[in-house]
Structure 1
Amino acid sequence: MRRIFWFAVLATTTTAPASTAQSVQTAAANRTISGQLEDGTRWQAIAPAQWNGSLLLDLDGAGKPARPGVPTSTEIPGGVLTEWLLSQGYAYGGIVREPVGYDFPEAVQRLVDLRAQVAATWGVPKRTLAVGGSRGAFVVRKALELRPDIFAGGLMWSGGGAGEVAVLRNKLNAVFVLKTLVDPAAPLHLVNVEVTRDTPALTALVAKARSSPAGRARLALAGAVEQFALWSVPGTAAPAATDYEAQVDQMAESFVFATALPVRAGVEKVAYGNVSWNTDVDYGRLLRLSGRRPMVAALYEKAGLRLADDLATLARAPRIAADPNAVARTETMMTYTGRIRAPVVNVDNDDPVDPASDKLVYRDTLRAAGTDHLFRMIWANGPGHGGQTALDRAVGFRLLIDRLDSGIWGDTSVPALRAVAADIATQSPVNLGASTLFEPGNLPTAPNHWDVRHWGRYRGERR
């Protein structure tokens, strides 16, 4: 089926009129090709006048999906980082997220199809790299696993280290705690969600929790079991280590977005059912793993509550089982084997959507596959989803290119990375911002893992 689709796309984009399939234009410094696949997926590629032969492919490389009443953006996807990459001689392109959704293998195939358009127009790339953030980071990992014949390396940020099964289990744990302890009657569906119905319900639940000392203590517990970032709001100062009230406010501001109901809905759509369960969860254990018991205990004491009572309530509460068929479908589509052949760099921060410990799960997957020598992670000290600067990501890209060119990894100590950042900033024709690269220290153990070692093991267990 996929082979037939590929040829259909190629025929459409090379023989149909330019207005519906492919247009070519020449800007002062860049050349652009763009088009639309049969299913409506937009694609685009941009090459500088002095192209060095390397092509970067990104899930979001053609910008945001079209929305009714919203004009399509004319800005270069990827912003200032893409401008810098073009200035360095790299071509950049990709598709839009919809309608491919969360079918990551299909997204990889569409990027490969786009590469064929580039090859037909500008010549076969000398080197093709997968790049992307958030949902695009999932696609980077899958691209390296599925198409080692095409992708020579990858750069990613802000998403997916644990794979969707573990990620969504973490988020289920957080909303389960919040609803069970704050308002069990809240009209919020924890799984099999409908975004328009459940987002207002979650918003109201978070507001209710935030409005009282008891609710704030329980919100802190909900955040702890997911290891929610304590500094999560861009444009704010990082709360002090013992300013628990400020940390709760940070969580409250980001909780609805970070819980990612639209992601759950999208995954459930392609999986044909619920992929998350908590029938085997010990919430006291998750609190211990988080390292946040002092914070949670202090807020419980301030509210006049007994933490042990709430943990007992959670232990007794009815649990949620997943659909085994949906889990099985999700495993191969949205989790990892770690069987890669090319180097990959992850530039990341403690992200409210993807807590820091989730990033380390991917390293564990690679280690089990014997491929962790191909992986390097560098850390940015910024809040929010995608809380790295363009300069931080440029440093990661330089690290990747040096590894590809030399065959060995460069120095990834913080002083060495900051020196690279300074060199890039000095020579860059665009403002990439300031570097925030740092050493995060010890990180907690991730609450959930799910990779190829777990595939086929979920049987719909119940307590």
Structure 2
Amino acid sequence: MTRVEGTLPSGGRYLIEVPATWHGTLLVWSPGYVSAAGRPASDAPDGTTRQWLLDHGYALAGSQPATIGWAVADIMPDAVATLDKAATRFGPAQRTIAWGASMGGQVTAGLAQARPDRIDGALPLCGSVAGPVAMLNAFLDSNWALKQLVAPRSDLELVHVSDENTRQQKGKALLDSAQVTAQGRARIALAASFSQLSTWSVITDPRPAPRDYEAQEAQQYQAFLSGAMAPRQPLEQRAGGNFSWNTGVDYGSLLARSGRSKEVAALYEKAGLSLKKDLATLAASPRIDADPSAVDYMRRNITPTGEISDPVLTLNETGDNAPTVVQASAYAAAVRSKGDQRLLRQAFVDRPGHCGYTPSEVIASLLTLERRVTTGLWPSTNARTLGRLAARVDADSPLDLGTAGFVNSRPDAMLRPYLPASK
């Protein structure tokens, strides 16, 4: 195997690994969100998956941006520059597949949209495929509603964040104080419904029963801080302002479409609260406007329009909250709106958590996408077929690739998708 590392013109790092017997497929990996500088470049989600791929003739490439945080604007050009390095050193690939996890999954969807000249297929893993505007609007809805109903005089910063650490501390204190009362728990559930936080969020906990609404709310409470209150300040710094708004939003309508209305109604009844009154409070509360230039930055870096010309297979966990699984629905709707649905397939793994895939799940998804790239025809992407493929791959390998938890799923529609015009 040949391993090449170096520095890109941007200052980012790149890594390329080519096995002695390369069958022609090159995988270009985009990394997720990092909060500390100095990390080396990676070319796969984990060491086991990397080893399996190299053992089976795949060439791997990946980069790590010079900057930290929401570095989408840096990672996308770095991915292309890494492909240039690979082509110069090893010659052109027969086929190139982009893949990445979390923020890197969003970048992967962005490459499918913006650089079809450089890739032949895309595998976004646990990615924000509805784009940052829709995701952060949903999170604003939850944070804004919680503040209005639980602590309207709180100085918790919702937008234009000046100190993220202080924001996180105040947000946690607000959540913790609400969680100790039945009234507070009902309002947390209502706020969580607006960003459609999963009712099964904690990896170590069993799935709550369908009508165990208290257990479902407990899961949302534990996910709220890392999900709906995820760091905002680094994104606003890059965008140059606030990119989220809730002007004109009907929160009663959002609740009715959220898939959480029964849970919320039951908890409000148990707490002796008037849901109608709280929704009226939200309707009468002052709203937040966005900075158009900041929205435009997030559109460019990058909000999928749904236009694709190469096959894309998305993989999401049903209990993920960063992003929520409903982003897959928004992405599918965007692709359908452009008439490109024949190029898209979506797969799901039934577990909570973020990007916690087993190597067998990732490899089975990759093999399925590669077959579509090479043959022009999609193989079956239902859960049973993917599960069998994952089991077969694991059984044939000396590596421990883990078991697969694929499930057929149809997530709820995202409440406030953002589909910009193509530019």
TM-score, normalised relative to structure 1: 0.85
Equivalent residue letter for 1:354: P
What corresponds to 1:170 in structure 2?
A: 138
1:69-127: CA deviations, max 9, x gaps?
Answer: xx869997533222222222112221225517545354222111111222232222222
Q: Is the CA contact (8 Å cut-off) linking 1:57 and 1:130 kept in structure 2?
A: yes
Cα distance in 1 for partners of 2:43, 2:202 equals 25
Gaps of 5+ in 2: none
1:271 paired with 2:239, answer yes
Pick one of 354, 357, 361 that aligns with 2:330: 361
What corresponds to 1:45 in structure 2?
A: 16
Cα distance in 1 for partners of 2:47, 2:167 equals 32
Pick one of 4, 8, 25 that aligns with 1:54: 25
Cα distance in 2 for partners of 1:368, 1:197 equals 41
Q: How far apart are 1:289 and its partner, in Å?
A: 0.3
What corresponds to 1:243 in structure 2?
A: 212
Q: How far apart are 1:388 and its partner, in Å?
A: 3.1
Q: How far apart are 1:393 and its partner, in Å?
A: 1.8
- SS in structure 1 of the partner of residue 96 of structure 2: strand
Q: Is the CA contact (8 Å cut-off) linking 2:359 and 2:401 kept in structure 1?
A: yes
For the aligned residue pairs, the C-alpha RMSD in angstroms reads 2.3
What corresponds to 2:385 in structure 1?
A: 416
* Cα 1:446/1:64, change in 2 over 3 Å: closer
Q: Is the CA contact (8 Å cut-off) linking 1:53 and 1:91 kept in structure 2?
A: yes
1:283-309: CA deviations, max 9, x gaps?
Answer: 111110012222111111111211111
- SS in structure 2 of the partner of residue 44 of structure 1: strand
Task: Give me the identity figure in percent.
Answer: 35
Gaps of 5+ in 1: 1-29, 456-463
Q: Is the CA contact (8 Å cut-off) linking 1:258 and 1:352 kept in structure 2?
A: yes
What corresponds to 2:284 in structure 1?
A: 316
Moved more, 87-96 or 275-284: 87-96
Q: Where do 4+ consecutive residues of structure 1 move more than 6 Å?
A: 71-76
Cα distance in 2 for partners of 1:101, 1:198 equals 17
Task: Give the length in aligned residue pairs.
Answer: 421
Q: How far apart are 1:231 and its partner, in Å?
A: 0.8
Q: Is the CA contact (8 Å cut-off) linking 1:54 and 1:91 kept in structure 2?
A: yes
What corresponds to 1:333 in structure 2?
A: 301
Q: Is the CA contact (8 Å cut-off) linking 2:31 and 2:64 kept in structure 1?
A: yes
* Cα 1:178/1:138, change in 2 over 3 Å: same
Q: How far apart are 1:282 and its partner, in Å?
A: 0.8
1:330-389: CA deviations, max 9, x gaps?
Answer: 222221222221101111122112222221111111111121110100111010112433
Pick one of 201, 217, 224 that aligns with 1:232: 201
1:148 paired with 2:119, answer no
Equivalent residue letter for 2:23: N
Pick one of 306, 312, 316 that aligns with 1:348: 316
Equivalent residue letter for 2:395: T
Moved more, 31-40 or 154-163: 31-40
* Cα 1:98/1:299, change in 2 over 3 Å: farther
What corresponds to 2:101 in structure 1?
A: 133
